[in-house]
Amino acid sequence: MPEPIQEDDPAFLPAALSRWDEVALLDLDHHWGGQDGPYEITVTGGRWRAVYRGPDAARLESDSANDLRDLIRADYGARQTAADDSTGRTGAAPDEYPTAPLPHCSDT
């Protein structure tokens, strides 16, 4: 039997989130967050946030999940480009990142 979700667990979904926001948060956390992901993804009071799990702990904020995803992609792409420039290797180009819109659920 799985352990119950704790309030400090990223998978914890406060009751105030709409079904759409729940799905969007889980999607962002799956692709960019989670325990091993580069960002900690949260949504509080209608503000979507991603904090980079690195030395600079850059914080990205937006009013929507889709906009936050775009900010994350741009930030992550810039970090990869900077890393490539410093090491001489090449990584995925920004146009290779997933671009599909986040899934949509009706609130009914």
Predicted local confidence at residue 108, as pLDDT: 45
- Listed range (4-8, 22-26, 56-60, 74-78) with the worst mean pLDDT: 4-8
Tell whether 40 is covered by a domain: yes
Range of the domain at 61: 29-88
pLDDT the model gives residue 35? 87
Is the residue at 100 inside a domain? no
Q: Hey, how many other C-beta atoms are within 10 angstroms of the C-beta on 99? A: 10
Q: Is residue 23 situated within a structural domain?
A: no
pTM for the model stands at 0.65
Confidence of residue 46 (pLDDT cuts 50, 70, 90): confident
Please indicate, yes or no, if residue 45 is contained in any of the structural domains: yes
**b/e map of 65-92 (b: 16 or more CB within 10 Å)?**
beebbeebbebbbebbeeeeeeeeeeee
Give the mean pLDDT of 46-50: 94
Residue 6 located in a structural domain: no
Report the alpha-carbon distance of residue 53 to residue 20 in Å, rounded: 26
> Is pLDDT above 50 for 74?
yes
3 state SS of 47? strand
Closest residue by Cα to residue 38 from 11, 76, 10, 94 = 76
Mean pLDDT, rounded, of the chain:
78
Q: What is the mean pLDDT of residues 78-105?
A: 63
